Structures are given as C-alpha cells and as structure tokens.
Amino acid sequence: MLYSVKESCNRYHILITEEDDIQVSKGKAIAVVGSLNMDLVISMQRMPKIGETIQGDAIHYISGGKGANQAVGCAKLGAEVTMIGAIGNDAFGSEIMQRMKLFGVKTEAIATLEGVPTGTATIMHTENDNCIVIVPGANGECSPEETIAPYAEIIRNADALIVQLEIPMPAVEAALRIAHEAGVPTILNPAPALPLTDEQIALADYFTPNETEFEMYCGGTIDVDSEEQLFERMTAWNARFPGQKLIVTRGKHGISYADSGSIATFAAPVVQVVDTTGAGDSFNAALCFGVANGWPLDKTLPLAVRAASYSVTVFGAQDGMPTMDKLL
C-alpha cells in the first residue's frame, strides 16, 4: 500500500504520500437527490453592524447547493450523474440548469416549479468570517410524491445514491428507502445537521458528518483536539449502527473512518487555500464515485481527501471540483 502508516493497537494514522494505482471505470450511474441554489457571494472588508449600511467590494453569482455541487463533482470525475431536485421558473433556475448541463449532469429529473423562486444562499464574506442566509425556495417544495416517486427507477438502477439535508427530510428518506430496498449503496451527508431518527440514519451505508455535525448526533460535546475522545465516540457509533461505515470529515486534519472496531485517519495534504466552499461536497462526491465503482475504502478515501484538498485551491465550489486527471 502506498502510504506511510503508524499503527497503534487497532487505530491507524495514514499519511497519503503517493498516488494510488486506481483503475477508473467511467460511466457508473450515480443518483444525487438534493438542493440546487444560486449563491450570492458578497465580499466586504467587515460585517455591517445592526442598522448600518456599508459598501461591499464585489458580488458573485455562483451556482451551488450541496446536491448540485456533489452532482457536478461526481460528473467531473467521470460518472453518469442524474440530479433529482427542483428549481424555480426564473433566471437563477435557468442559469443553474445550464451549468448542470455544461458539466455533463443529466437534468431530466430536475423539476421547474411555477410560482416558486429558485433557492438562494446569500453569503456575506470577509477575509476572516462569513454569514449565510438561505432561502429554500423550490428546494423546500421537494416531496416524496412529486420529486422522488416519478424517478424511483433512476435510483433503483444507480450504482450509488448520495443525499444531503437541504431539502425536506420526507423526500430524503423516500430516496434512501428506495435505494436501500433495491440494494443500491447509500451515502448520507447530514448537512446541515438536522434531527434524525435511528431508523433514518440506519438507511445509510455511509454516514459522513463533519466534526460539528457528528457532535450533535452523538448528543454531547466532543473535544475536537482530542482524537482519543473522537475515536471513543466513533467506536460507540459503530456499535449503535453495526455495518454502517462512519466517516468524519475534519477540515485540514483530513478524515477519520471507523468500521468494525478499527479507526483510520487519512491526513490532508498541505495546500494553498483560496476558497473552502465546497470542500466537503468535493470529498463526498469522490467518495460516492469510488463507492459506485466498487473500490475498497483504502483506495477511495485517500482519493476523496485529495479531491477535497484540491477543491480549496480554486474559487467557487463547482469550478473547484477536480477531474480525475488532477488526482491520479
């Protein structure tokens, strides 16, 4: 294996030092169920105070949404991706649709809704901070009956399904159940973190929270600087959801993975950071691509970590998603 490995009992710290010998099988079918947003990114020197008007430096209109980002990420790696979701019949919706087609994502399962605006995320960005206001719009109208049921066969015939939590949970759960019953591998990226039942969580073969989200689902605080405490919580999670693969994303620290009592940490390469938006989506897209191709996790996870690290070197979530030649 092309890593430097330090072993201690059943825990492994793995630093990616060389590229993996991965055989890429293009054309695997991936279904993505989730949100499509237009991100309005406003750059400014500082945040305004309450009631204050200040001058901004720039505004960028960027196609986004966790679902759309992950769909683009999978498509750029070479998968045949179908996006399932909804937009409004407006200029933002048209722009998003064009961008999805540009990246090769199949759009026939994206509904265009009349009288409902496309979802937006207004991001006020300074050098050291940001604030985000999300208006769900068409994303909030996604339902099991109207959004998921008409495209159940797409999910059943997929090599993997990935979902997030930016559309109503009944639609997410319906997609997971269809895939679960058909034996399609399922990835649940629980972002943003919302209350989930154990039954809903168990529908996912792969559960991919970040540290903050994982802390919420564990029901208590975790000292993120204490790997021992994190690993204890991950081991307890494995006992609670046997057979599920838990992957906690940890920003610049890479990811930690737990399965069957063993825990491995894959360190992230050191890169020049330009824009962290979409790093988690890039990781989840590459993970989904590897799962769809049937790769073992000891090859998929290093690739996914590299994808996330590459994405932060480029401005814009979707533009930052790497193609496979950037990773191999």
- Cβ burial of 34 (10 Å; 0-12, 13-18, 19+) is buried
CB 169 within 8 A of CB 191: no
Q: Give yes or no: 281 in active site.
A: yes
Q: Reading across the β-sheet that carries 130-135, which strands appear in turn? A: 58-64, 37-43, 119-125, 130-135
Q: Which residues fall in the annotated binding site for ATP?
A: 210, 249-254, 280-281
Name the binding residues. 37-39, 65-69, 166, 210, 249-254, 275, 277, 280-281, 311, 314, 316
Cα torsion 20, 230, 193, 176 to 10°: value is 50
**Between β-strands 80-88 and 37-43, what pairing exists: parallel, antiparallel or unpaired?**
unpaired
Counting Cα atoms < 13 Å in the Cβ hemisphere of 45 gives 3
Give yes or no for a contact between 119 and 136, defined as CB atoms under 8 angstroms apart: yes
149: its two tokens: 């049921």
Q: Render the burial of 247-278: b for 16+ CB within 10 Å, e for the rest.
A: bbbbeebbbbbbbeeebbbbbbeeeeeebebb
Q: What's the CA angle centered on 222, arms 221 and 225, to 5 degrees?
A: 145
Which candidate in 129, 281, 298, 325 is catalytic? 281
**Phi, psi (5° rounding) for residue 120?**
-130, 155
Point out the residues that are catalytic: 281
